[in-house]
């Protein structure tokens, strides 16, 4: 039986080099700060570079990187640029996403395509490019996908978004099965409604207030509520025998 590892060492991410997508705001910005605070070197990637530069200011563990996740033809160059900062990547956090607005009968074709391109296709292409590098180096690695509680339940969000997040959950399982033999772990976090730029208007609406009342804990989440799940899945010591798993962090809403 292995020795007991103290918590301060269990979640020490020293040596990890992480790429976080959608890092210019909301959950991505929080993930960047948390990973860097625990010793990881983090490349914060998004389209809004000025926000990334502000996020990286004063932190030797964070570097900004321009990235459009809907342009897979740029991913090889993007990964080269990312690795020029801190060395070979070991961990990928697929966080970038958009929500969509419409019910199915009202949705224009471009809305469906935009949501799937950002929320599904980007994870497929970027994860594949990342995994290929690990396989070529014969190095282990970790992928954390950001799914949602709407991966499990319809009717809680615009349909295109719910469908995309269900795809993310199943893609997580498929990648985990195929890549386990390469020592690449793939897991997901499925947040409930968390305060962010994407959700603030909804949470302030009557529908959002009603949703909060239905949540067993009677509140929406704070980005910090995801810190523990993130650190668990990022740490090889803490979750080395986990792959294909999804951690729900939703105040109990999926049960309501």
Residue in 11, 31, 130, 161 annotated catalytic: 161
Alpha helices for 193-252 (secondary structure H):
200-204, 206-214, 227-234, 236-239
* Dihedral angle computed from the Cα positions of residues 118, 38, 33 and 164, in that order, rounded to the nearest 10 degrees: 20
Rg (CA), the chain: 18
CA-to-CA distance for 67 and 62, rounded, in angstroms?
15
- Order of strands across the sheet that contains 41-46: 62-66, 41-46, 17-21, 91-94, 141-146, 184-191, 246-249
Task: Confirm whether 202 is a catalytic residue.
Answer: no
CA angle 58, 232, 211 (to 5 degrees): 90
CA-to-CA distance for 200 and 60, rounded, in angstroms?
31
Helix (H) or strand (E) holding 51: helix 49-56
Catalytic residue IDs: 161
């Amino acid at each position: 039986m292995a020795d007991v590892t103290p918590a301060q060492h269990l979640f020490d991410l020293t040596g990890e080099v992480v790429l976080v997508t959608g890092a210019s705001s909301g959950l991505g910005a929080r993930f960047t700060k948390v990973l860097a605070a625990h010793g990881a070197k983090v490349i914060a990637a998004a389209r809004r570079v000025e926000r990334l530069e502000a996020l990286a200011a004063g932190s030797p563990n964070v570097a900004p990187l321009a990235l459009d996740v809907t342009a897979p033809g740029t991913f090889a160059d993007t990964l080269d640029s990312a690795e020029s900062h801190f060395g070979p990547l070991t961990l990928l956090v697929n966080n970038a996403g958009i929500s969509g607005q419409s019910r199915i009968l009202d949705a224009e074709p471009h809305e469906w395509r935009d949501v799937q391109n950002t929320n599904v296709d980007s994870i497929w292409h970027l994860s594949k490019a990342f995994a290929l590098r690990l396989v070529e180096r014969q190095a282990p690695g970790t992928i954390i996908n950001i799914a949602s509680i709407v991966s499990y339940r319809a009717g809680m969000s615009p349909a295109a978004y719910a469908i995309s997040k269900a795809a993310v959950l199943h893609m997580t399982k498929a990648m985990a099965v195929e890549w386990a033999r390469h020592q690449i772990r793939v897991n997901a976090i499925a947040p409930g409604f968390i305060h962010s730029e994407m959700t603030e208007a909804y949470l302030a609406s009557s529908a959002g207030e009603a949703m909060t009342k239905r949540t067993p804990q009677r509140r929406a989440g704070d980005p910090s509520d995801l810190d523990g799940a993130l650190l668990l899945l990022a740490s090889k010591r803490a979750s080395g025998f986990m792959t294909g798993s999804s951690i729900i962090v939703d105040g109990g809403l999926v049960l309501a």
